[in-house]
Structure 1
């Protein structure tokens, strides 16, 4: 899928690989644990009038890779199908308010993130 999760001492890192990395124009997104407020799995509908900065979007095919701005909030999106995705809500992050990404098993990924958050708190 082109995405991997790494648990560091102080932060969670979403690493992009292969063609996903190319289209997102970004190698990784690091989220300090203290900024993670919510982790859930759900369908995600990207707002139609998001500003891509930088990244790739092909809305009719539901492909979004990279940084997007909508209103006063920044999103990092990395998915290519209309299916349940992992949605991380951040508070106090240096850039992003939401990090939304696809994984082979999003429910398992979200559970691992939540479990790790409880261990470091």
Structure 2
């Protein structure tokens, strides 16, 4: 596990966790966040790391190995994990807002460039704007 990771999300559904917790697709998860899905990865979380457990298919009768490892860390008050505060979530919201604004700005730039030159050359392209 990398030392520059600022948040570990322990989950059984990485795609759903990235959307629900971070507000982005799994392919967009930044490098400072690691999504952990198995017991070996849970055991490898460094001391003092911020961690969040997010379970989509919690089964009361039979837990997965990752769930068992996560519950073991939490139940024994393992000093390796640190909780996630409301402030931390507000920083994730700020990151998402900046990311979305950058995407909007880039798309607006592409549309403006397209409208300025290519649309005038081809009447079929003009109907899209």
Higher Cα radius of gyration = 2
* TM-score with structure 2 setting the length: 0.28
Of structures 1 and 2, the one scoring higher in RCO (CA 8 A, sep 6+) is: 2
* TM-score with structure 1 setting the length: 0.30
Between structures 1 and 2, the one with greater helix share: 2
Between structures 1 and 2, the one with greater strand share: 1
